[in-house]
Copies of this chain bind each other. A is one copy, B any other.
Amino acid sequence: MKRSPKGGTAPKIDIRGVASHARVSIATVSRTINHVPTVDPVLAARVWKAVAELNYFPNTQARALVSGKSKLLGLIVSEITNPFFPELISEFEQIAVARGYEILIGSTNYEPKTMELCARRMLERKVDGVAIMTFGVEEFLLDRFAADDIPVIFIDVASKQPRSSILAVDYRAGINEGVQHLAVLGHRKIAFISGPLKLRSAETRKNAFIECMRLAGLSVEQDWLIEGNHDLDSGRDAMQKILELPNWPTAVMCSNDMTAIGVQHALFEAKLRVPDDFSLIGFDDVHLAEYTIPPLTTVRMSCKDLAQAAVSSLLAHMQPTEGRAEAHSKTRIQTRLIVRQTTGLPRHALSGIVPRLHRKKRRR
């Protein structure tokens, strides 16, 4: 047992230490721990024994340097503070770690500047692949990754990039279910609070809503199409804006759950009730949605599916190009309505149509 002259630090064992301890060459140690099949079982056993005894583990940096693979996966999200993303991150992390990858998280906060910084960080750290879960990606970023030959997977509705794969979320299905659900209950006047429209997905959700309304034979009022920011505050603000309108909708759909929770809050403050005064539908189905008061009817988009598809696609594209995984893949992600308690009959559905008066009365 040697120790450095002064400090009480551990002997710092490396591959050489293991090699000498196991009486083999460092090459054999390397082969053994990398599970190269052509190693003599006897030597391998000696190596493993040495590894255990010395409590050795390879230096990731060195390995990365020589092999070119960092064993790092980038994960870019829009806002780590929105509960949907932690749920996604959590899934992503589990799968990645199980496969021997570490993950590097970047949160863009919807700011292009930050997004660029994130991308740069990923590039600098030489991630082996990136999942851009930010629902809307700038083309030039994809190019940057493509230039370094780094597999990218991102969320979109329609494919176009060559060297990348996409998760095609079918926003339409869920939103349509939502609109239909509302229509069946008797709602005709439905508002939609979108996410930041610079996000392609936010725009897509909004457009899906408009289309579905048309499909249901309902007209959409421009005043009831509000742009939010996918967070609690913006949901509240948007609803307050709606309440200032002379003409109220009877239901509101939101581009995500946080927005809906913000709406619930605005309604609470205005002493209006859900679903008696307004029906409400969210999007995402975060775990919290089950816990709002009342529990939120929402469109579920499984973050587990998203995470799983993302990691496995990335991993597939990282295989030494056998040509097969070359083509950019496309995975469908479904959405569907989860009915809870924020949707009900529109006010006075039974008693006729004199809502204006009542509304006035109720407004504080």
Residues of chain A whose beta carbon lies under 8 Å from any beta carbon of chain B: 9-10, 57, 59-62, 64-65, 70, 80-81, 83, 85-87, 89-90, 93, 97, 102-105, 107, 117, 121, 123-126, 147-149, 232, 236, 261-262, 264-265, 268, 287-288, 290-295
Residues of B within 8 A of A10 (CB): 147-148
A124 to B63, CA, bound (A): 11
Known: A61-B70, A103-B105, A293-B292. A149 touches B268 (CB 8 A): no
> Complex formed: what's the CA distance from A35 to B233 in Å?
43
Tell whether, in the assembled complex, residue B86 and residue A81 are in contact, meaning their CB atoms are under 8 Å apart. yes
Q: Which residue of B lies closest to A103 (CB)?
A: B105
CB closest chain-B residue, reference A123: B57
Determine chain A's interface SS by DSSP, over half rule. helix
A61: chain B residues at CB < 8 Å are 61, 64-65, 70, 126
- Which residues of chain B are within 8 angstroms of A262 by Cβ–Cβ distance? 291
Bound together, the chains give a CA A65 to CA B62 distance in angstroms of 6
Cα–Cα, bound, A105→B102 (Å): 9
Bound Cα distance A131, B345 (Å): 51
Contact of A89 among B80, B103, B291 (CB under 8 A): B80
Choice from B60, B86, B93, B294 contacting A268 with Cβ under 8 Å: B294
Closest residue on chain B to residue A58 by CB atoms:
B124
- A59-B65, A232-B288 known; A97-B117 Cβ under 8 A: yes
User: In whole angstroms, how far apart are the Cα atoms of A217 and B86 in the complex?
Assistant: 42
Contact of A102 among B93, B104, B288, B291 (CB under 8 A): B104
Enumerate chain B residues within 8 angstroms of A236, measured Cβ to Cβ. 291
| CB atoms of A59 and B97 under 8 A apart | no
Give Cα distance in the complex from A124 to B65, angstroms: 15
A107 with B126: CB separation less than 8 A: no
Knowing that A80-B89, A265-B293, A268-B293 are A-B contacts, what are 10 other residue pairs whose CB atoms are under 8 Å apart, sorted by A's residue number? Answer: A59-B126, A60-B124, A80-B93, A81-B86, A102-B125, A105-B105, A232-B288, A261-B288, A265-B295, A288-B288
A308 to chain B, nearest CB (A): 17
CB neighbours (8 Å) of A105 from chain B are 89, 93, 103, 105
- Give A148's nearest chain B residue, CB to CB: B10
Pairwise interchain contact A97-B121, C-beta atoms closer than 8 A: yes
With both beta carbons as reference points, the residue of chain B lying nearest to A65 in the complex is identified as: B61
Q: CA A124 – CA B55 in complex, angstroms? A: 12
Distance in angstroms between the alpha carbons of A123 and B55 in the assembled complex: 12
A262 CA to B102 CA, complexed, in Å: 33
Q: How far is the CB of A344 from chain B (nearest CB, A)?
A: 16
